[in-house]
A = this chain, B = another copy of it.
Amino acid sequence: MGDYHHGDLANALLQSARVVLNEKGIHGLSLRACAAHAGVSHAAPTHHFKSLRGLLTELAVIAYDEFAEALQVEFKNVAHEHPKIRLQKVGQAYVDFSMKEPRLFELMFSSTPLDFENPRLKNSASYAYQQLIGIVHPLFDTKEMNEDHREQTEVLVWSIVHGYASLLMNESERYGAKCTDESRRTLPDLGLLAELLG
C-alpha cells in the first residue's frame, strides 16, 4: 500500500522545502509541510535529515552554492573590465541574488539556527566567502597597503555590498516589494564614497 522506497526522497524533500520556503517564508517552513508537499508521511523527513534544523542546513548549502555560482558567473563575465567596474558589477550581482532569491538569502544570513558544524555547510559557506575575497583582491594590485589594512578593507568593501543588500531586503519585506523604489535595486556607484570619505 505505502509508497516505500521513493528513490531519492532526500532531494525530493529539499525541492519541496524550497517550494514551501518560497511560498510561506522561513517561519512557515515545517517538516510536515515538506513531507506533505513531497507526498510522504509526516515523519519521513526525520529519517533523511536529523531534524528541522538539519533540513534547513542542507537547504542553506544549496543557497550558498547557488550564491557562489551567481557571483562566479558575473565575475567571469567582467574579467576584461577595470577592477573597479568589476567590483561594482559583482556587487550588483550580490544585490541581484538577494532580490531574486530573497528566501535563500535570508536563510544564509538571517539568525536562523543552522548547524554550522555540518561539514557540507562549512564547506559551501567558506567557499562562497573565498569567492568574495577573490573578487576584491585584484583591486589592491595597484595599491600599496600593508596586510592588516588590506584585510580590513576587504571586509569593509563586502560590508557595503552586504549591508546594502540586507537593508534593501528589510525594506522590501516590511513595506512590500512593490513599495520599494525600483531604483533601490541598483547598487549605487561605490565611487561616491571615495568622493565623500577622501
Contacts and interface: CB of A to CB of B under 8 A. Distances in A.
A196 B166 CA distance: 23
A140 B195 CA distance: 10
Nearest to A166: B166
The count of identical subunits is 2
A10 interface: no
Which of A116, A167, A173 counts the most chain B CB atoms within 10 A? A167
Contact of A193 (B111, B166, B173, B194): B194
Interface of A: 25-27, 84, 106, 109-114, 116, 139-140, 143, 145, 149, 152-153, 155-164, 166-167, 169-170, 173-175, 188-198
5 contacts: A106-B111, A109-B170, A149-B192, A152-B189, A194-B194
